[in-house]
A and B are shown apart, each in its own frame.
Chain A
Amino acid sequence: MNNEMIKRYMYAVTSNLPAKAQPEIEKELESMIEELLDARCGDVQPGDEDIRAVLTELGSPEEMAVRYSGDENKALISGIYLIWYKKILRIVLPIAAACVAFALLLSVFVKWQPPREAVPYVSQAIATIISGAANAAVQAFLWITVIFIILERKKVNFSNSDFLSDLPPVPHKQAQIKFHQPIIGILWHIAAAVLILGFPYLIGIYSKSTGWIPVFDEGYIRASWYLVVLWSVSEIACEIAKLMERRYSKRLALITAVTHLVTGFTAAVFFLDNRIMNPVFVQKIGALFQGGSAAKIGRALGHGNSMVAAIVLFALLADLGETIYRAVRYDG
């Protein structure tokens, strides 16, 4: 059966079911809809009205998924409430944890006072951030659970009588965004911000003659902290949009363009300022690489900030290009 509305309906049902059961249930649904259409239309080709009537009779995709999952009235939160509960938990929990982790990172950074003992400071800061993020996730979980228990007890209606008009299109495989991808993205941006803001001295080089030399100037980073916060918030917002959209769409491409523009601009301002380079690093590197081609390497390393800016801008452009390509190709 090659009908767009049926395809969307089947996708909307199976996307609420465990991945393992999806292919078989999709096949069953297709066969069931065909049998119902045959019974309704006989040998006549079913029209849109017939398809709408059959799908409406079957009920909303969430109701159908509940019947297939067998989760009717089994627990405090069950049936259609359980489906929405799981959907909301999957979005809110990582966002709550990420936001609190980022806020704690800033607080750790603001409270930071040199001189400090690096190892206890790092481990204590990481423990604070992780426990805070876990606490936020637990709090969000509890509140959402309580709200859904109340919604179920009050029998608040989640169904939309015109659900057929709201069925989202079935995303092409290449256009789907797996749940773990934006989560890894959020963790990556937090980790990068933690490193740059909290522990910039960990980025450095070591040689026997000079010992450990940080590449970046901590004073400059402390003075320009808001740029790092701005791009991290912007990129986390982009990942949250991916988490909610779960497909490469034109809307996501627009959000990515805006957030990457903010990131690109702030990262360029941050990294292209030569004050970011630790003068001691530049001086020692110059001394280490002397004469001929070695001096060229030394000069290039002394301007490592420009290389970092170029890599960041290239990565942003590549990601934006891929997002736009997939959106244009697969979001009809």
Chain B
Amino acid sequence: MDRAELVANFSQELRRGTLILCVLANLKEPTYGYGLIEMLSKTGISIEANTLYPLLRRLEGQGLLASTWNTEGAKPRKYYNLTGLGEEVLGELKTHWHGMVRSMNEILEVSDR
């Protein structure tokens, strides 16, 4: 495994851990799958459809998201948004995230000295 591949793997690992937080944070308003891909893409987070759709389904199964089928348009679309439990979990995850960012910044500052 060469260096570029190693970095790509580590970077993917880092990103994978943040995906759920990204998804939950963008679902305060009802959004359909591809709409969410576009929203995340605008902020520089790319997520593949074959990862996102099953993830949305899993989060719904865990009670963090609720879904409704919108059949008003030409094609039916499944919209997801946060449940009460989802909002609580998102709040706690954000606290963990901010704590982790502070810790990581300290660690990285020390390593830069």
Contact = CB atoms under 8 A, between A and B. Distances in A.
Interface of A: 25, 27-29, 31-32, 34-36, 38-39, 57-59, 63-64, 67-68, 70
Contact of B50 (A31, A34, A64, A70): A64
Contacts of A25: 57
B78 interface: yes
Contacts of A59: 50
Interface string B74-86: 0111100000000
Closest A-B pairs by Cβ, 4 of them: A35-B34, A67-B54, A58-B50, A68-B54
Contact of B49 (A27, A32, A38, A63): A32
B53 interface: yes
Interface in B74-102: 75-78
B51 A67 contact: yes
Given A35-B77, A38-B34, A28 B50 contact: no
Contact of A39 (B34, B54, B77): B34
User: Looking at chain A's contact residues, is the secondary structure mostly helix, strand, loop, or mixed?
Assistant: helix
Contacts of A67: 50-51, 54
10 contacts: A27-B76, A28-B78, A29-B53, A35-B32, A35-B49, A35-B77, A38-B34, A38-B75, A64-B54, A67-B50
Interface in B46-81: 48-51, 53-54, 57-58, 69, 75-78
Given A35-B32, A67-B50, 15 more contacts: A25-B57, A27-B76, A28-B53, A28-B57, A28-B78, A31-B33, A31-B75, A31-B77, A32-B34, A35-B33, A35-B77, A38-B75, A64-B50, A64-B54, A70-B58
Nearest to A25: B57
Nearest to B32: A35
B79 to A, nearest CB: 10
Nearest to A35: B34
B41 to A, nearest CB: 11
Given A32-B33, A35-B33, A36-B34, A57 B49 contact: yes
Given A25-B57, A35-B33, A70-B58, A57 B76 contact: no
Q: Which of B33, B50, B77 has the most CB of A within 10 A?
A: B50
A27 B33 CA distance: 13
A68 B57 contact: yes
A67 B55 CA distance: 8
> Interface centre among A34, A35, A38, by most B CB within 10 Å?
A35
Which residue of B34, B50, B53 has the most chain A CB atoms within 10 A of its CB atom? B53
Contacts of A29: 53
Contacts of A64: 50, 54
A323 B92 CA distance: 60
A31 B53 CA distance: 10
